[in-house]
Structure 1
């Protein structure tokens, strides 16, 4: 990987969403009329209607894929920034203050729309039913993302969901590259890959240095069921390719060499939300701080494991303590 001349800042770029987490019964999900386990986009009025029916006070945390990664970097003690867009409202202020508390520098563009929110209803079988209001997070114009947002940054980590706004994605990657940053892209979901394949190919060849995918995303992008063949295809136009294979760990490839990274921990997952996002936190933190891929991968796996031991993408204080001990080892 090319030298970044001592730069260690990692910038997350994506949707600024407040995650609202609540435990409810199967009957509640049926009563509000949404498919259990699904994700549905709604307007603000509908979200407020559902929130008014909750039987318990929900937990709120800052969310969004790239935001989760930036928060992980900040909690590791790294130099983290998040670029997104929020409304001029209480959830937007909460989002901004929560980033600061977690060691992340917020660069949040103002919007006349309310701050985006994701209500995650968790039923007793641990399934999540997600009801999403994108709001301000979907309001960013291409000309609002500028080179200064990325100045002095080693890596800009971009969520694949931005591919649904091709002009914004292209302008953002161009600005990040002009700032001299490496670009890390997480493919986000196989749906993103299938719906954006031509644009994805073009942007990977032109801008991306680090490409991160899970098994489903890698299969959708490469057509290869064999893991090592899929990894090699992922690496074709980038410097570093990552293939995450869940409880079996992950693979990292650079310059033709493959690093096999074992999964960490022994307990089963309580909730896998944010596992890939926090894996990226650990890996990118290690990379910009000069760790080799084996150590960066171990830290990444530890982050991915610990976030699976909590509901939501906010690792506990005890979890971060265990991860920091691995950093010292």
Structure 2
């Protein structure tokens, strides 16, 4: 079954990726080691393993809809942009929660369903605010190539693809080809250094052929380009795409557009405000892509991205509360 709603705004941003439910818990580094989670990275596991780790958790479990591209698109919807999410979920309670949350956040669902359970991610947050993920893809891994068509991306300014889709090469290529046929710009977030390391050769080819906007943090850029130096890494990224972004954490970000580099200062308050980095990169992309779709100057796009990224770090999970969105909207 496919559920969707009508919408044809030319400034629409469409996200495609894994429809996942996030389970967040604060634990120490010792717990992280026992869970065999890679600090700052992402590891694919079976559903039973997540259940086992959850039973050993000391902290309170927080359950919220998630997934990288979905987080980004919800942010676009909260900013008042035309937004759509494409993905696959289970016909279960978690799936219904996921779809309801999209609608409540001004996002048009274009969702395929499966008899498998909705996927989920256990995010273990250590005292340094770093998050390490154990991921069970469930239904989200069952998207078929023939489900991803040009119709998913018609009347769209930007298609945003999460790097985690690199683990499903056929679907990734189907999405890229459909987006190009629809005449939209393609944005790719590299997602995690572990993703880049596992898919580097394939990634090189598809970025050259399809990607217009390439977004990476320091670790991802180093894994992709081989350069630890920020200037060299950004230069290498900018050779691959019209717009290249290098995020450098609390120091802000650098944006290269056709060779012209813009430095973006970090927004918000003190780093002591940071409680959880879950969704920081995803929400940075929300503000940045919203700005691009609405023809903002590149420095304003970066400023909006920085503010969204900061506000989500002040809360548990990837959902910015309304008070945070009010502060962000002042930039508009």
TM-score between the two structures when normalised by the length of structure 1: 0.90
- 2:149 paired residue number: 146
Secondary structure of the structure 1 residue equivalent to 2:86? strand
Cα displacement (A) at 1:225: 2.6
1:132/1:192 CA distance change after superposition, 3 Å: closer
**CA RMSD, 1 decimal:** 2.2
Contact 2:37 2:134 in 1 (8 A): no
Q: How does 1:167-316 map to 2 (within 5 A)?
A: 167-268=170-271, 269-316=274-321
Q: How does 1:32-51 map to 2 (within 5 A)?
A: 33-35=34-36, 38=39, 39-51=42-54
Q: How does 1:15-26 map to 2 (within 5 A)?
A: 15-23=18-26
Contact 1:37 1:128 in 2 (8 A): no
Task: Count how many residue pairs are aligned between Structure 1 and Structure 2.
Answer: 320
Deviates more, 1:297-306 or 1:134-143: 134-143
Q: Which consecutive unaligned segments of at least 5 residues does structure 1 have?
A: 1-5
Cα displacement (A) at 1:229: 2.3
Contact 1:242 1:253 in 2 (8 A): yes
- 2:327 paired residue number: 322
Q: How does 1:75-90 map to 2 (within 5 A)?
A: 75-90=78-93
Contact 1:19 1:63 in 2 (8 A): yes
Cα displacement (A) at 1:122: 4.1
Q: Which consecutive unaligned segments of at least 5 residues does structure 2 have?
A: 1-8
Deviates more, 1:148-157 or 1:14-23: 14-23
Distance in 2 between residues matched to 1:23 and 1:194, nearest whole Å: 27
Cα displacement (A) at 1:194: 2.0
Secondary structure of the structure 2 residue equivalent to 1:78? coil
Deviates more, 1:18-27 or 1:157-166: 18-27
Q: How does 1:153-164 map to 2 (within 5 A)?
A: 153-164=156-167
Contact 1:21 1:120 in 2 (8 A): yes
1:224/1:54 CA distance change after superposition, 3 Å: closer
Q: How does 1:77-156 map to 2 (within 5 A)?
A: 77-122=80-125, 126=129, 128=131, 130-156=133-159
Q: Residues 59-84 of structure 1: CA distance to partner in whole angstroms, max 9, x if unpaired?
A: 32111111111011011111111101
